[in-house]
Structure 1
């Protein structure tokens, strides 16, 4: 009679774990299938319920309404538009207005934020306290309140068109907006535009050459006089050779309003000011934290090379700090774009106001319009994130990260 030797406890435990692991794997797979089936069933019920409700209210689903006539005007349009155009045209008008205020707001918020951050880090006691007070005041007030403040308390208090604040009888500021001369393209406009592009490209190449010369040979090069000469000289030369690039249509007061020229509506000014100033307060703290994350030895090393404080920040500290600044800075850009939808409070004709507001109330196509609006904001956010991520990748390569 042979006796089977006992297996070591460790081998038995290993086999038990393997068996239980296999069963756990199958049970996990089954649970995932059940979860997927439940999700699909819930989605089907939502779609079926929405379709039934639309049919009961005699509302036609689909995107055919986009080809119908809108029948209402828009106070600002970057492209030709009239009330006889379709809802597709309304969508494009609102989208361009949203992009306009977002791009302008991002630009000014970035500039103000960097200036305020440098002010907070300044050795000047008064400048540092003023910058700190700006940050603490602005970021702790609701954005909607700031939009209404600029629109109702500042711009609405301006005089009427007949008593406009005038600058050389060319630019007029009143409670209906800012009236400025409108440029009209002339025969030399194309050559003028090409000259500007060439000047910008030459200025960028000159800046790259100056940085390379500084880092490789330690020889600083002053480039701003050459940049100014390029940006002014080349377009001026093109205008002299090919003729005036454009002429101006001056605004003229007729009756109770101005005729001619271009008008910047107060809603755009109020919204841009509020978004820029509010977002700049957060950007200032992000930039300050990024600069302080760079070791102070970098400042001392730059000073030992004879560089000024501004040159050290521009050439050494800020490029290193950008790796810390970019991720939260991207979030602030996305927040500014989405916060532009608060324009509905003052009647600025952005995408949310004219498409998800007026168009929705006229057509009743809630599902389609909300889906389009959500998709557009999502696409804008993804494009912004992609651009900032690409810039961060380029920055990492240039810094050898």
Structure 2
């Protein structure tokens, strides 16, 4: 049945393309792109092929999505715990946050951060100096630059290997084996090793009519990150609250009888059990956040939809091909995220014997 539907759609597509004297081809990906991408974490220059532009904007989408998932999880966890606080002020402050954020359109929140907050920052010469030498102004956030030694690439590979081995060492720790000590030492050693490869820290500084040195994080990225993170965190907070409430009260009473402190009960007894309930709905929120990264087109953040469904589509006229590429990429990202979260859900689920 599905094959018949696909065949019928393909047949209709071929007939319509023939009627308009159009061809279906992805050969345009080899053509040169005569536009610049203002922010990128992958090397790009005007004249690179459209396939390179696809890689650049995909990396930008993955960047803001990853940052959003991390920030939304941390904020949602904190607000969800605050929702159950015995303190009236803390509890109701969290309630107001959740109700205001989740009942406001997400696009409005992104625009608020971009226009109402970041565009109200001081001009370049009145930049706000932040701890660590960072500067904040209307052009964005400027962070210090780390200059690495020529041999630092080997340190990156070594640090990646340490991080990859850590989960296996953690399993040994849970079995009370001596190797488990490395579960705590390996991440620390990775960070210390990377810092050993830093030869110079260059802080941003105002020189003339511009800022020299440092890494610029544009306001478009910050606004989109803040909008996605805060909107998703309101829903995650309710997921956390519901999962904590779902844990049997007897667990808390048993922990109290053992003399554990409230923060110990939450961290060692309640949250580990609530995590099994949180993971499935968290997966849906993560997928929504990733797909909502396309809202960056509203504030000119160079992500997938903005660049490929905007600039590239207008220059090439390949509407069908560009939309299909976007669908395949977002589908691949979403399926990969779902597969990881399903794997993690199986890892933390309670096994009945």
For residues 297-331 of structure 1, the C-alpha deviation after alignment (integer angstroms, 9 at most, x for no partner) is 11111111222222222222222222221111100
CA distance 1:163–1:392, change in 2 (3 Å): same
- Please state how far the C-alpha of 1:167 moved relative to its aligned partner: 3.6
Q: Equivalent residue for 1:380?
A: 333
Q: Equivalent residue for 1:45?
A: 12
For structure 1, which runs of at least 5 residues remain unmatched after alignment? 1-31, 214-222
Bigger drift between 95-104 and 182-191 goes to 182-191
CA distance 1:201–1:72, change in 2 (3 Å): closer
Q: Equivalent residue for 1:120?
A: 83
Query: Is the Cα–Cα contact under 8 Å of residues 330 and 388 in structure 1 kept in the other structure?
Result: yes
- Please state how far the C-alpha of 1:109 moved relative to its aligned partner: 0.2
Q: Equivalent residue for 1:344?
A: 297
Q: 1:92 aligns with which of 28, 41, 55?
A: 55
- Please state how far the C-alpha of 1:202 moved relative to its aligned partner: 8.9
What is the RMSD of the two structures over their aligned residues, measured on CA atoms?
Answer: 2.9
Equivalent residue runs for 1:286-301 within 5 Å: 286-301=239-254
Query: Is the Cα–Cα contact under 8 Å of residues 17 and 23 in structure 2 kept in the other structure?
Result: no
Report the secondary structure of 2:47's partner residue.
coil
Structure 1 runs of 4+ with >6 Å offset: 201-207
Report the secondary structure of 1:246's partner residue.
strand
- Please state how far the C-alpha of 1:287 moved relative to its aligned partner: 1.1
Q: Equivalent residue for 1:166?
A: 129
- Please state how far the C-alpha of 1:61 moved relative to its aligned partner: 2.9
- Please state how far the C-alpha of 1:125 moved relative to its aligned partner: 1.7
Equivalent residue runs for 1:210-221 within 5 Å: none
| Structure with greater Cα Rg | 1
- Please state how far the C-alpha of 1:60 moved relative to its aligned partner: 4.5
Q: Equivalent residue for 2:145?
A: 182
Q: Equivalent residue for 2:96?
A: 133
Equivalent residue runs for 1:252-291 within 5 Å: 252-291=205-244
Query: Is the Cα–Cα contact under 8 Å of residues 184 and 246 in structure 1 kept in the other structure?
Result: yes
For residues 143-182 of structure 1, the C-alpha deviation after alignment (integer angstroms, 9 at most, x for no partner) is 0000000000100011111221124793211111111221
Q: 1:246 aligns with which of 190, 193, 199?
A: 199
CA distance 1:118–1:51, change in 2 (3 Å): farther
Report the secondary structure of 1:156's partner residue.
helix
- Please state how far the C-alpha of 1:51 moved relative to its aligned partner: 3.7
Query: Is the Cα–Cα contact under 8 Å of residues 187 and 246 in structure 1 kept in the other structure?
Result: no
Bigger drift between 91-100 and 204-213 goes to 204-213
Bigger drift between 130-139 and 202-211 goes to 202-211
Check if 1:396 corresponds to 2:343: no
Report the secondary structure of 2:120's partner residue.
coil
Check if 1:82 corresponds to 2:45: yes
Q: Equivalent residue for 2:110?
A: 147
Q: Equivalent residue for 1:9?
A: none
CA distance 1:42–1:107, change in 2 (3 Å): closer
Equivalent residue runs for 1:100-115 within 5 Å: 100-115=63-78
- Please state how far the C-alpha of 1:37 moved relative to its aligned partner: 5.6
Query: Is the Cα–Cα contact under 8 Å of residues 188 and 246 in structure 1 kept in the other structure?
Result: no
Aligned length: 348
Distance 1:140 1:362 in 2: 38
For residues 246-275 of structure 1, the C-alpha deviation after alignment (integer angstroms, 9 at most, x for no partner) is 322333433322233210000000000110
Equivalent residue runs for 1:320-335 within 5 Å: 320-335=273-288
- Please state how far the C-alpha of 1:126 moved relative to its aligned partner: 1.3
- Please state how far the C-alpha of 1:197 moved relative to its aligned partner: 5.7
Report the secondary structure of 2:200's partner residue.
strand
Distance 1:202 1:122 in 2: 38
Query: Is the Cα–Cα contact under 8 Å of residues 146 and 198 in structure 2 kept in the other structure?
Result: no
Distance 1:135 1:172 in 2: 31
Distance 1:252 1:182 in 2: 11
CA distance 1:163–1:86, change in 2 (3 Å): same
Bigger drift between 255-264 and 326-335 goes to 255-264
Query: Is the Cα–Cα contact under 8 Å of residues 83 and 94 in structure 2 kept in the other structure?
Result: yes
- Please state how far the C-alpha of 1:189 moved relative to its aligned partner: 2.9
CA distance 1:66–1:116, change in 2 (3 Å): same
